[in-house]
């Protein structure tokens, strides 16, 4: 610890921020748990509420849309459920990421901690939520068994990629909103809109193979939605469906480009965040 | 070399803070620049430069300090002279907008006793969290928790959520944690009130011990008594600039406007 930390607008300082933040994992690990326990303090069931509310939403929407779209429940419900669990993670990282530094103003102004600490805490908290929600998935497997194959292990690297992307999005969007507060409501609306544009309650394959050529044609537009790719790399293995290479390629490309962009933002504006919040 | 109470031997690395012509400018995005046409220079606060599109408060200007291991520096100045901002510059929270600031060593900033405290969780849990924030490990805090509990005299209240505490009790808890750590660089901003006299005497001792353990101290205070007890040199801040730097009594005399 004797060496001076690189400072200023350099890549070394940006990388050092990420590294030093990672070294403080006892701190953010503890805080992430604390956040969860905190939210359900004094409630009898505690964090089990995360699991229950996810189950209720997914089952209710599964039943509703299976009726509306005339898709069998045993096909739609698992689809909606896994989609919801993954979406909760994605949207959590983005919406909370957009205020990650604003919300931690007090800590940022009083403690010389690396910025990345707050982001790691956020992603860790969302990971814990995700783990709670996986219980619903496991119960669903008992009710509606899925044709799981060994490919289910792909869900692990897929989730890792999701978390990796959650981190850069939170860092980049967090820094930008700290400076331009108008981005905050914009981000929230975009995420809300993205929920409907992403095949969570509707099934992409059904539309692509629709007998109506116009609908099939239009459905292809969904490929432009980056969230579709993130969702598919993890939902497909979890439901025993075949992998598609292009989803992984797109996600990897976004991961690389996203982190490059974030390092640029970090290099230039990391040291400004404590002035802006 | 020093031996800590947990029997780990730490080689005292060169602890230092060096700044050269460091400036801290705050952009104020929500102030209407039109209403601040002129550069305001009052007795209170830094300079406000409104020529730019976004008004900027020059909180610190041309700060050049060189503090080595063993330094015990007091910080004096009017409200808004830049003492707290200087402490944040020295801790690395604000990186200078211009100039250089280099901090070597683990910094324990104690600006606000309440920061990082969560009202909904118990006193014991808060002790752990506050300690982690100050750069301690979980193990180190486990070793200290009994000592802190004794010091605070809060007894069974430590198992109650912090929101049930009175202000004085919170201060006790915070002081207990803060004075239990082993900082390399200790930055103290005053703000110790609301404790009864007996407790204040007790915490003073601990504060003195804490300062002795730390490699480098910068202490902002309005209390001459406290400054004399903890510091030997001083920096006098005015309008975001260093007005005088030197031996404590000399600086205090000049600051009070007394003849040397």
Distance between CA B213 and CA B203 in Å, rounded?
A: 15
Mean pLDDT computed over B154-182: 87
Q: Which of A220-224, B19-23, B131-135 has the lowest mean pLDDT?
A: B131-135
Tell me if chain B has a CB within 8 Å of the CB of A105. no
Q: What is the CA radius of gyration of chain A?
A: 20
Residue of A194, A191, A168 whose CA lies nearest to A254: A168
> Nearest by CB to B102, which of A4, A26, A31?
A4
Taking CB atoms within 8 Å and a gap of at least 24, the contacts of A238-245 are A238/A82, A238/A137, A238/A146, A238/A152, A238/A155, A239/A78, A239/A79, A239/A82, A239/A146, A240/A146, A240/A147, A240/A148, A240/A149, A240/A151, A240/A152, A242/A151, A243/A151, A243/A154
**Is position B155 within any domain?**
no
Which chain B residues are within 8 Å of A37, Cβ to Cβ? Answer: 121
Taking 80 as the threshold, does the pLDDT of residue B38 lie above it?
A: no
DSSP B53-83: SS-EEEEEEEEEEEE-TT-EEEEE--TTSSH
Tell me if chain B has a CB within 8 Å of the CB of A34. yes
**Is position B143 within any domain?**
no
Taking only residues 108 to 137 of chain A, the set having a beta carbon closer than 8 angstroms to any beta carbon of chain B reads: 108-113
Tell me the pairing of strands B72-76 and B98-104. Answer: unpaired
- Contact yes or no for A108 and B121 at CB 8 A: no
- Contact yes or no for A111 and B133 at CB 8 A: yes
Distance between CA A152 and CA B85 in Å, rounded?
A: 53
- Please report, for the domain that includes residue B98, its CATH number: 3.40.50.300
Q: Which position has the token pair 């912090």? A: B162
Taking only residues 109 to 138 of chain B, the set having a beta carbon closer than 8 angstroms to any beta carbon of chain A reads: 109, 111-112, 115-116, 118, 120-121, 125, 128-129, 132-133, 137-138
Structural domain boundaries, residue B72: 16-106+222-253
Give phi and psi for B63, each to the nearest 5.
-85, 115
**Is position B130 within any domain?**
no
Give A85-135 pLDDT, tens digit per residue: 999 999 999 999 999 999 999 889 888 889 999 999 999 999 999 999 999
Taking CB atoms within 8 Å and a gap of at least 24, the contacts of A11-14 are A11/A263, A11/A267, A13/A267, A13/A270, A13/A271, A14/A263, A14/A266, A14/A267, A14/A270
Distance between CA A166 and CA A158 in Å, rounded?
A: 12
Tell me if chain A has a CB within 8 Å of the CB of B94. yes
Taking 80 as the threshold, does the pLDDT of residue A35 lie above it?
A: yes
- Name the pTM for this structure: 0.86
Mean pLDDT computed over B45-66: 77
- Contact yes or no for B120 and A41 at CB 8 A: yes
Instruction: Using CB atoms within 10 Å of the CB of residue A59, give its burial: 0 to 12 exposed, 13 to 18 middle, 19+ buried.
Output: middle
Assess contact for A198 and A228: CB atoms under 8 A. yes
Tell me if chain A has a CB within 8 Å of the CB of B51. no
Give A194-245 pLDDT, tens digit per residue: 999 999 988 888 888 888 888 888 888 888 999 999 999 999 999 999 989 9
**The pLDDT value given to residue B33:** 43
Mean pLDDT computed over B178-199: 73
Taking only residues 7 to 26 of chain B, the set having a beta carbon closer than 8 angstroms to any beta carbon of chain A reads: 13-15, 26
Instruction: For chain A, give the mean pLDDT.
Output: 91
* C-alpha triplet A216, A154, A47: angle, nearest 5°: 95
Q: Which of A235-239, A256-260, B247-251 has the lowest mean pLDDT?
A: B247-251
Residue A237 C-beta-side C-alpha neighbours within 13 Å: 17
**Is position B79 within any domain?**
yes
Helix (H) or strand (E) holding B3, with range, is strand B2-3
**The pLDDT value given to residue B211:** 83
**Is position B59 within any domain?**
yes
- Contact yes or no for B93 and A26 at CB 8 A: no
Give A36-78 pLDDT, tens digit per residue: 888 887 788 888 888 999 999 999 999 999 998 888 999 999 9
Q: State how many domains chain B has.
A: 1
CA distances from B193 to A62, B55, B80, B172 (A): 58, 35, 20, 10
CA distances from B55 to A117, A274, B34, B36, B58 (A): 30, 17, 9, 8, 10
Distance between CA A3 and CA B13 in Å, rounded?
A: 9
What is the band of B194 on the pLDDT scale with cuts at 50, 70, 90?
very low
Task: Tell me the β-bridge partners of B218.
Answer: B73, B187
**Could you tell me which residue, A161 or B30, shows the higher pLDDT?**
A161
- Domain borders along chain A are 11-32+46-276
Closest Cα in chain A, distance from residue B91 (Å): 6
Residue of B66, B113, B97 whose CA lies nearest to B218: B66
**The pLDDT value given to residue A226:** 94
Tell me if chain B has a CB within 8 Å of the CB of A274. yes
Distance between CA A89 and CA A127 in Å, rounded?
A: 7
Which tokens hold the place of B57?
Answer: 């408060």
**Is position B2 within any domain?**
no
Q: Which of A216-220, B50-54, B95-99, B101-105 has the lowest mean pLDDT?
A: B50-54
Q: How many CB pairs under 8 A join A and B?
A: 79
Task: Tell me the β-bridge partners of B246.
Answer: B234
Taking 50 as the threshold, does the pLDDT of residue B6 lie above it?
A: no
3-state DSSP assignment of residue B191: coil
**Is position B49 within any domain?**
yes
Taking 50 as the threshold, does the pLDDT of residue B251 lie above it?
A: yes
């Amino acid at each position: 610890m004797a060496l001076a930390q690189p400072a200023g607008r350099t890549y070394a300082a940006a990388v050092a921020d990420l590294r030093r933040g990672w070294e403080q994992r006892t701190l953010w690990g503890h805080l992430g748990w604390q956040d969860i326990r905190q939210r359900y303090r004094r409630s009898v069931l505690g964090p089990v509420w995360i699991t229950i509310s996810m189950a209720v939403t997914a089952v209710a929407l599964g039943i509703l849309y299976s009726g509306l779209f005339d898709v069998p429940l045993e096909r739609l419900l698992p689809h909606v459920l896994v989609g919801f669990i993954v979406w909760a993670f994605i949207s959590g990282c983005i919406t909370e990421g957009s205020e990650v530094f604003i919300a931690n103003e007090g800590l940022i102004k009083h403690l010389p901690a690396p910025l990345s600490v707050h982001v790691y805490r956020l992603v860790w908290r969302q990971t814990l939520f995700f783990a709670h929600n996986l219980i619903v998935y496991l119960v669903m497997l008992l009710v509606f068994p899925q044709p799981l194959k060994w490919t289910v292990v792909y869900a692990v690297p897929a989730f890792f990629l999701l978390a990796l992307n959650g981190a850069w999005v939170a860092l980049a969007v967090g820094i930008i909103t700290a400076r331009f507060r108008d981005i905050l409501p914009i981000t929230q609306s975009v995420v809300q809109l993205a929920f409907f544009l992403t095949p969570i309650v509707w099934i992409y394959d059904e539309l692509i193979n629709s007998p109506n050529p116009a609908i099939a044609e239009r459905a292809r537009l969904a490929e432009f939605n980056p969230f579709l790719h993130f969702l598919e790399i993890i939902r497909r293995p979890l439901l025993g469906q075949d992998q598609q290479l292009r989803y992984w390629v797109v996600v990897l490309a976004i991961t690389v480009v996203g982190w490059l962009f974030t390092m640029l933002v970090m290099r230039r504006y990391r040291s400004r965040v404590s002035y802006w919040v | 070399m020093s031996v800590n109470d947990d029997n780990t031997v730490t080689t005292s690395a060169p602890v230092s803070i060096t700044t050269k012509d460091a400036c801290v400018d705050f952009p104020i995005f929500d102030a209407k620049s039109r209403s601040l046409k002129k550069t305001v220079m009052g007795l209170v606060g830094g300079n406000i430069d409104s020529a730019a599109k976004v008004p900027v408060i020059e909180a610190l200007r041309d700060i050049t300090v060189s503090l080595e291991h063993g330094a015990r520096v007091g910080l004096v100045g009017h409200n808004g002279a830049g003492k707290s901002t200087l402490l944040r510059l020295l801790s690395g929270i604000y990186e200078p907008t211009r100039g250089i600031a280099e901090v070597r060593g683990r910094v324990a900033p104690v600006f606000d006793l309440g920061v990082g405290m969560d009202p909904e969780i118990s006193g014991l849990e808060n002790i752990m969290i506050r300690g982690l924030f100050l750069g301690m490990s979980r193990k180190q805090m486990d070793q200290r928790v009994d000592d802190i509990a004794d010091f605070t005299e809060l007894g069974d209240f430590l198992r109650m959520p912090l929101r049930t505490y009175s202000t004085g009790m919170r201060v006790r808890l915070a002081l207990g944690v803060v004075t239990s750590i082993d900082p390399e660089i200790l930055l103290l901003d005053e703000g110790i009130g609301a404790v009864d006299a007996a407790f204040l005497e007790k915490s003073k001792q601990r504060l003195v011990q804490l300062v002795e353990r730390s490699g480098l101290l910068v202490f902002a205070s309005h209390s001459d008594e406290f400054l004399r007890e903890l510091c030997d040199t001083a920096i006098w801040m005015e309008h975001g600039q260093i007005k005088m730097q030197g031996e404590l009594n000399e600086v205090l005399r000049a600051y009070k406007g007394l003849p040397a």
